[in-house]
Structure 1
Amino acid sequence: MRVRTVQLTGAAIAALLGVAAQAQVATPPAATAEETGALEDIVVTGSRIRRDPLSQSAPVQVLDSASLAQTGLSSVADILQRIPAASGGLNSRFNNSGNLGNPPDGGGVGAGSAEVELRYLGSRRTLVLVDGMRFVNGSSASGIPASVDLNSLPAGMVDRIEVLQSAASALYGSDAIAGVVNIITKSEQAGLQASAQYGQFRQGDGATQDYNISYGIKGEATSVVVGVSYVKADLVSTADRPLSQFPNPGATSCLQGGCSGATPLGQFFLSPSQVLTLKAPVAGRPRFDATNPTGPNSDFKPFTTGDRFNFAPFNFFITPSERYGGFVSIKQALSDRVNFRVKALYNRRNSQNQAAFLPLFLGPDAGSGTVTDTFSIDATNPFNPFGVTLSAGGPGEPPANYGFIARRVVEAGPRSFSQKVDTMSVTGTLDGAFDVGARTWYWDVNAVLGYNYARQVFTGNINTSLLRQALGPISQCTGACVPFNIFGGVGSITPAMLGFVGFTEQSRSQQKLNDYTANLNGTLFDMPAGPVGFAVGYEHRNQSGSFTPDPIVEAGFSADIPARGSSGAFKVDEVYGELRVPLLSDIPLINSLEVDGAIRYSKYSTFGDNTTYTGNVLWKPFSDLLVRGSYATALRAPSIGELFGAPSRFDGGAFDPCNDINGTLPGNVPASATVRANCIANGVPANGSYAVDAAGASVVTGGNINLQPETSRTIAFGGAYSPAWARNSGFARTLVLEGSYSDVKLDGAIASVPADLTLARCAQTGDPLSCGNIQRTPAGFVGVVNGILQNIGGIRVKAIDVNFTYRSPETSVGSFGLTWNNTWLLRYEESVPSTGGFTVIDRTGTTRGSPVQSYPRYKANAILDWAIAGFTASFTGRYISGVTESANARRLNRILYGDVQLGYTPSFLDDRMTFTVGVNNVFNSGPPPCFSCTGPNFDPTTYDIPGQFGYLRVALRL
């Protein structure tokens, strides 16, 4: 791609020091050659035909390097997630590595990764390109993700980012349903560029260091750019913010709910339904009164809410990471019509996540889905105080006489997940031009080879095969075996015991991409309104991926989340064509009128063939006004993880309506007769004994080889107005008003039915399909909910974007700019199957807790900036409207963030150095508390963590 930033954005917009990464860049349809420089027909994101970049068929946002630096953030994903049309994705505020298991999307947790998604359609439906070509998907040793990890790109190589907010499968193939993010890397540079930034939160944590240096040689025939980047971000602990010090927002004790039943003292669920805990930490074997387990001679007492364990302060608000990498770009003119470019990059990411001490659950009602559900504790275990074998009721054993034991293994320390991720990519491009008569046609052939390899080390786990031996008959605990004390309270699990049963889990995953493309474009013939343009091309792509868990985990002997290995591959061959036809020009009310369209045929090795197409109409009634409309179909092929991923568990904490059907717990009311009858039919004891203070549910998710591609259609229309009178009168160098409407209808969405919906539908309607997907333990607890991936239904999204950009001329008091970007979410609905039809879930204006995501009706960013004589100042306001929690109808208030930045480029240093200071969240706005979110009590896809973040930066050009 040969796109000068000034051409894409307009010189005035690119000069806006205050246009941060949130800016919606509406290229002025009436911009003049004097403003933009001499225009040339070039290739821009959203079309493969060379064209005037000021007549885009779809809105394209352009974020140049100055815009990226303006935010004070060190992650490209964090910057992109501030765009009003963006809707989250993984980022540094996600701490889940494996402590909650694998989200039901087939791709694993993606710990430490960073992603971008548009229109709330998921990162898998936003295509990420690098220089117009595909990039290898990420992996984090927890599965086979379907998205690019933006943390795998060295930040110093990024020249600018183009964001196309329109379906584009006809041009780029699979995944471009919500839009395209095209990251343009540095291809030319003269001299040295370097920057160093340090920042931290006002609380003194979360320190971030960001260093970039690149050097370029720019000759007549040869351009070389080399560079290195280093980013180090320290953690922020949930213990250091009041919002997250307990599982429920603002709580000061476990009496306010949310804490875990797996306690350091232990919880013992006996038969019939007697729940005990230890009174106090004791060493060795507890005393037990056989006639009265809670009598005066016993160290046990009835379990209460106050005995629960507060796991919240052991998590991370921001996960620590270290990223370093390098890149090289060499561009050589082989002749005056042929060029060759080769790019290579390497990036290493070291990251970490943390969870509280391992919760160990044993017994038939544990519902862990592991072999610990079948554990019996032998009477000869020297620490068993009950004098009899606690039987799980397995083959050859006495009938079950206990429900479960829950013990928090604090002696092993917090669970720690450390990732090392290596990414390598090499791209070769040969391009040129040749004449066909009086016309010039352009061609290019490309090869992309990408590799991503991840290793994860997990400490704090237990080998359950050895644990069974240590809990079983003392006669079988020989050799290295050390009898295990699960009854003795804090400190009773000794280092020797842990040395026998504990292990360090090591898992790995990898993804590979081989992508080969060839493109040809030019003009065919002239019509009265202009030349007819065309583009054609071919692509062949091979993708493969694998996930290899630790052998102990693979064998089913992990006390933490179970996992199985998986691998798979697919290949695809595609051809496309694009045509641009100018119909009319220079007549009343039609300054210009053109249509263009594209079609792509794809043949996949996994499911067969597919055809997508798009059509656009561009009309300029007069030179200052552009009106456009489009209709596009798109697809997303099932990813490797979605097709071949092995079953795995996700502990999302789904609400079970069958818990406490008699209403015996404080604050609960008896269930209706219908719910009671349906719950009993599903396996809940009729006597109401299934009544626990906190009842969640695990989902079993996994790939499905029978998946078909998702398909969508998008209708969009809008326009841009840039009045010449404003420029001619000296009122503005740039004045642009742009608006667009989009309607996306997605069919055959690949997902699992939400566990909350499955449980609710079974309890409320007795739906056979839902009830059949729920497995309960003998005591009524939810064991697992079947959430295997399927083409479940559809998603419908409607949105409006309105954006305003103003840049003043130079005055005696400097120049001013204002950019105001707005997105209204008009509709977001999901449809999922039920017996005899579909259930439609309207999420507009709501927050869902698992997987966490908010859907605010309105988001806006406004940037006001000022520049004079080397000084710059800007203020960015970020507004998010209020939402309602779906699970409990609680209202999450609207929020306004404010960011301030000051810069100085001294003339006495020949404008070679720039000093910048900034504060993000200057108002110290805290995220609205969320009770149902499976994160640290707020939605990290939408809101910043509490605290002001200040930073200093020095940039140098030589």
Structure 2
Amino acid sequence: MNVQRKTLTRAIRASLMASLVAMPLMAAAQDAAPDTTDPTRTLDAVTVTGTRIKQTNAVTAQPVFVLDRQKLDETGVQTVGEVLQQLTSSGQALNAKFNSSGNFGYPPDGGGIGAGSAQVDLRHLGSKRVLVLVDGIRWVNESSASGVSGSADVNTIPLAIVERIEVLEDGASSIYGSDAIAGVVNVITRRNFEGVQLNGYYGEYSRGGETTEASVTIGGGGEKFNAVFAASYYEQKSIGSGEWEQSSYPTPGTGVRGGSSGTPQGRYTFCDPSRPAGSLGFCDPAGDFWYDVTLDDGTTTPVWNPADPDAGTYHGFTGADRFNFAPYNLLLTPSKRKSIFASVNYDLSENVRLHAKALYNNRTSTNQAAPEPIFVGPFAGTGGIADTIVIHEDNPYNPFGITLDPASNFGWVTRRPVEVGPRIFSQDVDTSYINIGLDGIWNVGNGYSWDVNAVHSENKAEQRFTNGYNVAKLKLALGDPAVCAQVPGCVPLDLFGGQGRPMTQEMIDYIRTTQIDSSKQTLDILSANITGDLFAIGDRYAGFAAGVEHRKYQGDFNPDPLRQSGESQDSFAAAVSEDYDVSEVYAEGNFPLLSTLDVSAALRYSDYSTFGGATTGKLGFRWQPVEDLVLRGTYSEGFRAPNLGELYGLTQFGATLVDPCGSTGSPGPASPDFAAGCLAQGAGPNFEQANTQITTFTGGNPNLQPEESDSYTFGVVYAPSWAEGMSWSERMDFELSYYNHEIDGAIQARDLQALLEACLRAGGTAASSPSCAPFTRQASGNLNPPENFLDNLGTIETDGLDVKVNWASPEWGWGRLTAGLQATTVFDYRAVDIDGNESQREVGIEVNDSAIPDWQTNVSLGWSLGDWSVNWTSRYISAVDEYCSNVPVPEAPGCMGGVEKNTLGSTTFHDMQVNWSDAFALEGLKFSLGVNNVFDKEPPVCLTCSLNGYDAGTYDLPGSFWYVRADYRF
């Protein structure tokens, strides 16, 4: 790839050298929207996302999908995130359906969880590889209050200020710099708005979750200025997981994992050498046969007789004793957003204009999880204080009469005190943005458009976690009571009474603690750009754009002191306070070689303070051999610089692993492929994995290099003249676009599941395979926390085809019809790490709460007559499979009898909207009534998905959503 990169770079340098010599370093601001209804129509020169050169062609060399205000309204949703995640080119991305705080820990990329935010993914390449712009200016990345993220929260941009959204379905690093590997989302705000617009919206799911939105937009101006002001309020209420049968019970067939070993009755695993053999086992110091018991239901006073364990109030722990955590979770997380926006343009002279733009957005949101379980003892596998806790024999609630010591006879004690209440994670996020600059016309030659911008943006978040525990206090309260008595507030803790003897308020108050995490990201930009005609080629001109940009990124993550010291029961995290800056210069040109053929080229050089320089280029062509037909294509180099979290983060992550040596609820023996490796690691034939979430130490790497990519597109746009002005057709157009992306040096942590399986197949020891390096086991056979840090480990390849069709009828006596199709098929997706392990993530497979369907298709039908219109949209998602080897409940339907894969059937959601303009005889009032998911289609059951039993990044919430909207403009 490096030879190819150098060749392309030299070619582009030669083609652009003349334009680089004498250009002022400035470019054009985003201007009026192209008319996408006729893709071959000649327009006034405008700027389209994907190039900074003003164009007179609606169809440029690169594929751009435009969502104008009418299309946005027809979706029936009220957030930018929901709109973008309905695109057929969209992949799995965070949204309000992810109740993602809690014991997930922190993802390996240092970006945190992003609870309450909404991101955008294109081509299934991840939100970090999509660049988000607002009016052509880079938007600040989110603060998740749990890390320093590399993704933008698109819901920090209120829908009320949006004029249109342009989605570049192509790589564009040479035009915009880092992150634009999978594509670019450019949100164009309202600019030339006249009058007042009031908007009110109310909607509700069939299971609750009311949505309310209200906004006011005011615009106007005079001879030398114009201004727009908008204010909006949005509130989404929650839906509990208990409202849907599938997400209410962690039982086979629901798609929710088989419950938790942290139960209200407690689980006790220990060894007492003095006790005799019995039905509950006997003491084996190697850990193969220990007590693994739980308290009988209905017990008020635990009874344990070491001489006759079977006569007490305990029984051996089984899968039937696991705790149903599901009803405490949320199907839809609540959120409130308040925002104000202002934009002003003032003509300083005939050719120079001052522009200023500002936004403030506040979001409060909440996640909820089941009451936090207490896990103490080495089997907890946290790698921290909890693993070392000793429960003293003098603890007044210890029924076993012996000291439980991790050094000799203690596995773990688990207890979920439901009396404390659920875990609550409350986020408070502020986003601010200000842009001040100048733009104008330079009357030299044919005239040049230019702009300069100074931008400061900030995203600041605080997360308050309540009903968690201080592990250091747990250690004191479970240890020697004489030591506890010397510490103010300390009282001995009862982990042994179950629900029949709940913790006292005094116990709870001592160990419970509120934890506050915060983070902040700031982005400062100085840029200058110019665009215009360079020189004549025949009867047309070569266009150019050039510019410079300097950006500074600052990221801070301040986890609660308890997290930093390892005293939080929730998880460990280290503080981050880092920054870097980048200076860039770019140029691009568009050259009309023939009357029907244009060739474009772009080159960008970036100098980063973290790793040095990077050069990217792009070539494209546009050929219109006949009036009705346009052929186009691009080849582009891309790169993504490691973000601050990836460079400097250090956290714990609750990785989900299915141990081939004996999965949860299904003790061994392991399959023949793994048996020898399991035995070599000390996991015998009767081993049962204690938990599927294995604490993993993850974090950044300051030596990371940028990801590099090559992207190809080829497209055909056909707007047949024979379908214009006919009795059956006013217009028709077709578009086919092929895409291909290859990423080298992808920043990632190793796939622990694949690595563990490769290790066990190879023999299970470090001597037998390098794959075994991260893995060690306790005497019980349970895995110790592995380390899994980021590196440039991956190669990702994907390609596919976008199909778009639009048709409109003439005005008939009974109305006008429109029809549209947007479809994406993914031909291939392949990700391989540096060890040669191929990811399970591929086309047609559901894995890690994310699916890549073969087809995603949106079909829309419309009818209008006078003041009335009706729209119908069908959103189709093809079937996907999940591997039964990833299902932790072997007896789950769909995976019984040795079946390799479980199928999640194809799904279609139908949406309908009715609009009435000038409603109730009031000019300017538009009234809309709609239902999304008209037929109450439920998402398919997912047996491997982590919460709620379905893939929340691919499918809609269960149940219909109806809404009513009133829009009054005067």
Contact preservation (8 Å) 2:668, 2:686: no
Contact preservation (8 Å) 1:242, 1:250: no
Among 697, 719, 743, which residue is 1:722 paired with?
Answer: 719
Contact preservation (8 Å) 1:236, 1:316: yes
Residue 320 of structure 2 is aligned to residue 294 of structure 1: no
**3-state DSSP class of the match of 2:324?**
coil
* d(CA) in 2 for partners of 1:310, 1:602: 52
Read off the aligned partner of 1:334 and give its amino acid letter: L
What residue number does 1:280 align with? 297
**3-state DSSP class of the match of 2:171?**
coil
* d(CA) in 2 for partners of 1:947, 1:738: 34
What residue number does 1:382 align with? 396
Deviations 1:239-268 (A, max 9, x none): 00011112346449xxx9611111001000
Shift of residue 281, structure 1, vs aligned partner: 4.7
Read off the aligned partner of 2:235 and give its amino acid letter: K
More deviation in 99-108 or 318-327? 99-108
Among 550, 556, 560, which residue is 2:570 paired with?
Answer: 560
What residue number does 1:259 align with? 259
What residue number does 1:755 align with? 752
* d(CA) in 2 for partners of 1:701, 1:716: 36
What residue number does 2:494 align with? 485
What residue number does 2:678 align with? 679
**3-state DSSP class of the match of 1:846?**
coil
Pick closer, same or farther for the CA change 1:101–1:908 going to 2, 3 Å: closer
Shift of residue 726, structure 1, vs aligned partner: 1.8
Pick closer, same or farther for the CA change 1:356–1:944 going to 2, 3 Å: same
What residue number does 1:923 align with? 935
* d(CA) in 2 for partners of 1:52, 1:679: 66
Alignment of 1:562-601 (within 5 A): 562-585=572-595, 592-601=596-605
Read off the aligned partner of 2:226 and give its amino acid letter: S
Among 532, 536, 543, which residue is 1:522 paired with?
Answer: 532
What residue number does 1:35 align with? none
What residue number does 1:349 align with? 363
What residue number does 2:558 align with? 548
Residue 244 of structure 2 is aligned to residue 241 of structure 1: yes
* d(CA) in 2 for partners of 1:115, 1:183: 14
**3-state DSSP class of the match of 1:365?**
helix
Shift of residue 231, structure 1, vs aligned partner: 0.5
Shift of residue 728, structure 1, vs aligned partner: 4.1
Deviations 1:409-434 (A, max 9, x none): 21210101000000111011211111
What residue number does 1:8 align with? 34
* d(CA) in 2 for partners of 1:258, 1:377: 29
Shift of residue 847, structure 1, vs aligned partner: 3.5
Contact preservation (8 Å) 1:273, 1:689: no
* d(CA) in 2 for partners of 1:235, 1:865: 32
What residue number does 2:209 align with? 206
* d(CA) in 2 for partners of 1:792, 1:721: 41
* d(CA) in 1 for partners of 2:30, 2:104: 44
* d(CA) in 1 for partners of 2:839, 2:493: 48
More deviation in 99-108 or 888-897? 99-108
Alignment of 1:535-934 (within 5 A): 535-585=545-595, 592-646=596-650, 648-659=651-662, 670-672=670-672, 675-681=674-680, 683-685=681-683, 687-692=684-689, 695-729=692-726, 731-766=728-763, 768-834=769-835, 838-841=836-839, 843-850=841-848, 852-888=849-885, 889-906=901-918, 909=921, 911-934=923-946
What residue number does 2:270 align with? 270
What residue number does 1:410 align with? 418
Shift of residue 2, structure 1, vs aligned partner: 6.4
Contact preservation (8 Å) 1:281, 1:488: no
Unaligned runs of 5+ in 1: 14-26, 33-38, 394-399, 586-591
**3-state DSSP class of the match of 2:357?**
strand
* d(CA) in 1 for partners of 2:846, 2:692: 18
**3-state DSSP class of the match of 1:937?**
coil
What residue number does 1:458 align with? 465
Read off the aligned partner of 2:440 and give its amino acid letter: G
Read off the aligned partner of 1:391 and give its amino acid letter: D
Shift of residue 287, structure 1, vs aligned partner: 2.1
Pick closer, same or farther for the CA change 1:827–1:750 going to 2, 3 Å: same
Normalising by structure 1, what TM-score? Answer: 0.92
Deviations 1:670-703 (A, max 9, x none): 431x52222233x324x43422475443332211
**3-state DSSP class of the match of 2:761?**
helix
**3-state DSSP class of the match of 1:806?**
strand
Among 51, 70, 73, which residue is 1:47 paired with?
Answer: 51
Contact preservation (8 Å) 1:529, 1:583: no
Contact preservation (8 Å) 1:263, 1:408: yes
Pick closer, same or farther for the CA change 1:691–1:402 going to 2, 3 Å: same
What residue number does 2:279 align with? none
Pick closer, same or farther for the CA change 1:843–1:759 going to 2, 3 Å: same
Deviations 1:139-171 (A, max 9, x none): 121111101111212222111110000000000
Read off the aligned partner of 1:702 and give its amino acid letter: G
Pick closer, same or farther for the CA change 1:197–1:627 going to 2, 3 Å: same
* d(CA) in 2 for partners of 1:227, 1:906: 23
Shift of residue 546, structure 1, vs aligned partner: 1.1
What residue number does 2:284 align with? none
What residue number does 2:5 align with? none
Among 466, 478, 481, which residue is 1:471 paired with?
Answer: 478
Read off the aligned partner of 2:201 and give its amino acid letter: Q
Deviations 1:574-610 (A, max 9, x none): 000101110111xxxxxx1010010000010001100
More deviation in 259-268 or 359-368? 359-368
Among 292, 307, 316, which residue is 2:321 paired with?
Answer: 307
What residue number does 1:28 align with? 39
**3-state DSSP class of the match of 1:817?**
strand
Read off the aligned partner of 2:96 and give its amino acid letter: S
**3-state DSSP class of the match of 1:469?**
helix
Residue 203 of structure 2 is aligned to residue 190 of structure 1: no
* d(CA) in 2 for partners of 1:129, 1:548: 27
What residue number does 1:588 align with? none
Shift of residue 218, structure 1, vs aligned partner: 2.6
Shift of residue 651, structure 1, vs aligned partner: 1.8
What residue number does 2:896 align with? none
**3-state DSSP class of the match of 1:775?**
coil
Read off the aligned partner of 1:803 and give its amino acid letter: K
Q: For this pair of structures, how many residues does the alignment match?
A: 904
Normalising by structure 2, what TM-score? Answer: 0.91
* d(CA) in 1 for partners of 2:59, 2:675: 63
Read off the aligned partner of 2:39 and give its amino acid letter: P
Read off the aligned partner of 1:213 and give its amino acid letter: V
Contact preservation (8 Å) 2:100, 2:113: yes
* d(CA) in 2 for partners of 1:299, 1:363: 22
Contact preservation (8 Å) 2:666, 2:688: no
Pick closer, same or farther for the CA change 1:878–1:71 going to 2, 3 Å: same
Shift of residue 304, structure 1, vs aligned partner: 1.8
Contact preservation (8 Å) 2:751, 2:839: no
Contact preservation (8 Å) 1:282, 1:492: no
Alignment of 1:502-517 (within 5 A): 502-517=512-527
Pick closer, same or farther for the CA change 1:670–1:127 going to 2, 3 Å: closer
What residue number does 1:941 align with? 953
Residue 439 of structure 2 is aligned to residue 431 of structure 1: yes
**3-state DSSP class of the match of 1:776?**
coil
Contact preservation (8 Å) 1:249, 1:937: no
* d(CA) in 1 for partners of 2:563, 2:310: 38
Read off the aligned partner of 2:723 and give its amino acid letter: A
Contact preservation (8 Å) 2:919, 2:926: no
Shift of residue 502, structure 1, vs aligned partner: 0.7
Among 76, 98, 103, which residue is 2:80 paired with?
Answer: 76
Pick closer, same or farther for the CA change 1:104–1:934 going to 2, 3 Å: farther
RMSD: 1.8
* d(CA) in 1 for partners of 2:343, 2:190: 7
